[in-house]
Structure 1
Amino acid sequence: MGRSSSSARGMLHLAIVAAAAAVLTALPPVPAAAAASFTEPASDFNGTGQVVLQGTKEAGSALELRRAGAGVVCTIAASPATTWQCPTIPVPNGEKTFTGLETLPDDSVEPLDLLVLRVLRPPVLEGSGGQVTTTGRFTGQAEPGASIQLQSIGPGAPQQHSCPAAVGSGFWSCAIVLPEGEHEVRVRQSLPSLGPEYSAYSPATIATIDRTPPAAPLITSPRDGDAVSGPDVSVAGRGEPDARVQVFTNGDIACEADVGPTGDWDCDLGLPGPGEWTLQALQRDVAGNFSSASERVEITASPRDPDTPGGAPGGPPAPGAPGPGATEAPQSGESPSPDPTTPSSPTPDATTPPLPDDGSGQPATSHWGTQTGFGNALPSAEQIIEHGGWALAPVVALVYVLLVALPLRAYATIVGPRLGTSPWRLTGRNREDDEPDGAPDEPPVEGEERPLLSPLLIVVATFAGAALIAALSGGIAADVRYIRLMAAIGLGLVLLNLLAVVLPARIAGHLLRAPARARLLPGILVIALFAALLSRFLDLQPPVLLGVLITCLALEPARLRARGGVAIAQIGGVATLALLAWAVHTLLMPSIGFWQTFAAETTAAIALGGFGSLLLLLLPVGRLPGRELYAVSRGAWAVVALASAALTGAIVASGASFPLLPLGLVALGVAAVLTALTVWVRWVAPALDG
């Protein structure tokens, strides 16, 4: 019986297997999967625009590869090989899709999986692959809206320079500060719509940095005091080989000429009429540096005698064709200024206009009037909108309030008192931080320790140090124009502290019956130095500066609201003066000459120092005005802090080099550490002790 059951079960299993085999035999055959596939490129981003396609296929099969919108780009003939590779394929910028068909040995066709590549070629650098001479300004073509990054290789380590984004036409321009001499320069781009990756670098250019203005040109004919038969005059002289000379009559440009290899130049001009005329010349070298004005040549033009040719005695005859002179006589005594729209200028690097004639009849040979570049990166409101600074402003404001100000407040109020540390004072020792100041005329208490250094000396040294740090944020050189820069920054810092801090605080204190006492903050120099180093290291344009070195606090026992009013007066004063200086600086740029450049640098120091100091003053810690405002109304403090940080962020973040994400991550890390310490001291440590 048992054997019979086992035999039955075996027969049943055989019947099931036979039925399954019959069903499988009756089903149509499943087509073989396509053996061809892409193995290269391994990444979906290509930064050169030269794509190499390769992969695997079935032995004996053929391939036809296409790019969407471009047709067949590669064919692979049938062969026993199981791998394939196409020649290098040039591909334009953008997201490109590749398709393929594999023809198998049995003439059946199988498609390959789609290959989608993001392609971004290197941008074009003017002079790429050759040599250029420049003051530090480079131009080229890129994808519209692309971020531009320029790399310079000189005597030291390679440097990365972030540049403004390419405009709608694709044109980009970048002015950087490099030591004079030869540097290897190349550039790459990143297009946000394609992704965060940068393209490969363009071919390198050997750039000769030259910021030394050429000597003033000479006018050798006509000579000073000559009488000419107008209106056509031929002017000749000497200059720097390969430079471009502009000749002015009474301050108006009259003609231009290129200086030959031997240093000679000449051009023909037309005088507007008879009378006394002043000729002067400027020259611009191949790097774009302007010279000072040449010596004045006074000539007297008389109506032309129809029977005699015109020209200067002893000089070359004037041609008969009228020159490009003005149609109306210019005012005498005007100094020539460079013409920035010269169509045949060798390069557009007119970044250091010359100092015009000072009116003494002698050319200005010093460099007091040339620009230093300080404040040139301070954007106007229109540029902020164009570069998208306003869009990043709320992000900067939130990062400042949530990751900087509030964690510092919690740390200072909870952790600080537990540490029991007192700030080191340069102006005195062993004084309690909460000790109120005495009246200015209060005699010193017997036995009280006197300051280590003179207060006046500390004030002067603090402002001088701040001016030097601010100048170093953009770089300085051994040139007299940087003496002017230091003076302009020093004046700007003094005006900022007196007009925006001390004066508003004293007025508010008088109105609110809360006398305010000014306190010097020499320790702020450490923070200012850190900000300057950060600006140089990250190549921030505009740089982050701290210009407020004085704060005013209402003396006890003033009411809390009165002390808050004094704090608001200072914050409002700094913001108002910084905005005014920003507007004036926009009107003064581009600047030419000593006084206009001095004013532009002074207003830039006030604006940059004011906007940067706003964020420091609003911190609700220590003896800063932000602490008083925070104590009066946390809501008011939050509104003022967000508005100030948004304004500062819009100005600073509009630069293409502003590293918002890295700085945000650093702020997040610092906030996490401060918050962890606060939580430990406030809750964890007491619980463990209990």
Structure 2
Amino acid sequence: MPVVPAPGASRFRLLMVVAALGLLVPLGASALQGAAPAAAEEQPTATAAPAALATAEPIAPVAPTPTPSPSDPPAAPTPIVAPQITSPAAGTLQSGSFVIAGTAEPNSRVQVSASTRSDPLCATTASSDGAFTCSTGTLPSAPGVVLRVVQLVDGHDNASDTVTVDVLNAPTVASGSASGISTGYGTVRGTALAAATVTASASGAAGIFSCTVAADVSGAWACNLGDRIPSGTVQVRATQSTSWSRGPSAQSPAFALQIDSDAPAPPRVTSPTAGASAPASGTAFAGTGESGSLVTVFAGSFAACTAPVQNGVWGCEAGELATGTVAVSAIQQDPAGNVSAESAPVSVTFRAGSATPTPSATAPGGSTTTPGTGGGGAPGSGASGAGSGATGSGSAGTGTGTTGSDGSSGSGSTGGGSGLGDAPQTPGSGTSGASGGGTGGSPSGDGGTTGAPGGTGEDTSAPLSPLAADGTWAGATRFTTTLQPVFGTAAGSNWLIAAAIALGVLALIAAPARLMAGALSVAAHNRRGRRGTLLTGRNRPRDEFERAPQVSVNPRVLAAIALVASALIGMLSGPIESQPAYLRLLGAICIAFAVLNAVSVALPRVLGLRMLGLRSRIAFAPHYLAIAAVVMLASRAFAIEPALLFGLVLAIGPADGTSVRGRARFALLHLLSLVVLGGAAWAAATVLPAATTPASAFLTEVLNTIVLGSFGAAAVLVLPFGALAGRAVFAWSRTAWLAAALGCFTLLAAVLLPAAPSLAVPAASSGLGATWVLIVAVGFAAVSLSVWTWVRFIAPALR
């Protein structure tokens, strides 16, 4: 039966529910207000009154915050004016400093640059109308120079414009004489772009003159404006043009060239006088002449001394002269280079002995001596060195004298002189001035006479190639300089020295080496004879062993590889610099060695068959590379310039079965072909002009390499041992071998004779020097003779 709640209980539960609702509704409303205060501020909600809460009415929902609408896109930047170069025009030729003009955004910053300069040429601001200008300064001469302008505007990308032009500056021009005064030829010189065509023009009262010449690879040029240009002054300018300039450059600034085409009058010799007697050593000469000129005194045909003319007088002191009566005369050369006629000769007798200074007189006893004032010696200036040496300087000659009551002589010190030659970094040397000091003619003494000026400054430098090691393909190498001429002013003495060197090689190297080789060969043969039958060694046929596969190589390819290897060995015979010119030199050596090998086998093969009736065989000789390496080491050790070379890789010899006489004659024909080839190349090299272009330098290097390689190969092959050609000649005739060896060694010594100065001074080169060369040669000869003596005499006696 269901339980019926009491009426009081139901009312009690209803009151509890209403009370609970009354507490929960305010709490929920306060929580909603704390969670979204911002929403309540933006859009207030209707808050129920406490009375409404008591009736439990629902709370109004909070409206969502409206999302703001997206903003409009930014406006595009305002267009600006792009930069543009209006001057110079593209493809034009510019010289010196020029102006770059153009337009850009008004009041914008612009920066101008050139492809041949790392820094900007200028940075400027365009004017209010957008115009701008920029001065370039002097840009390097070059084709295809790119001029660029860059515009800088805040808020905009950098904009630019370019123009390509050619730049060719004017060459420099100066007097061709060190004194600045030219003869009637009007010699001028200067610098330009390498291989450019330079045109120099001059104008003056005497007329208009010009000359055109090509600059060498270093840019240097020189030419004569004319012939017999009258004396006076002309204004000289120069332009240059190239293959890419499409016209000449601007003219160089004018300079005044003084022309002196009038020869000076002959000087006079006033001391010694005609008929005088003078010592053969230290004789002092004096006379008069044209101030500024250089006087040369001749005793017979011998140039005794030289001196400059100062204030119309000159004086110099001779060295050692030949005794006897000779005619003394003089000539003088003015600063322009004009030479006078010979002065009237005076007859002077030179006797054995030397000049002695006059002793100063002593004052009488008890008398008072008064020091005399020495005559002021004029500074001596060294005369031009050989090959236009620059002026030297001499110290002043000073004199002091003491006199007694009758006056005594003063004495003057010698004015020293020195000169500096025009050759690069090559000092000349001036002879010292003569002693000053004359006789004091009064009690006070008038002191010494003027000290004589310094003498000639000699240019002791060797001729230099116009090419320079400038780091380009046109640079110079050690094979670029032309070899010693075959015939010249010093040819006789050079050939005598070369023959003496050849005799020394025969006596100290070739003959001892032959003795030692023969002795060692006999000793080895004796040892084989004493050895008898061997109990050990190969006792099975060779066919039982496996053989490595044979790789066939084309003989032509093998010869080409060997030729390049020989050329590389030849390159190592001297210093190598990191310059492109040495790649050119490698190509020249390869071509020269190819010609050398072709001639050395083709000529004996043809002539041997036609003249001697002998057939020959040609073979690749790998041991020749070892010989080339030994020759290279000798060249480096003794610093031989240009180098010792052995460029053969092919060997030729008569067929098997040829007699001893036939082998010797064929060997002589082989040696003769090398000598003829070297002599022809030597003659061609000496008549070539100095190398001024890469092509002429390459040709000179090829000819020089053929000369050195031919004579070097002949000198090696003539040695009388091994399988060399000299061994066949030696076995047939000692006299024929001696003549052939002497000829080959003499030719090699003659072509290398210019290297003698570097051998004579070890400190001047990286080599061992001539002294060590002689020591090594004597030591080799001593060892060879010792070995020969032991094997031939001592060892048999001991057995």
So what's the TM-score if we normalise by structure 1? 0.46
Q: Relative contact order, CA 8 A, sep 6+: which one is greater?
A: 1
Which one has the largest radius of gyration? 2
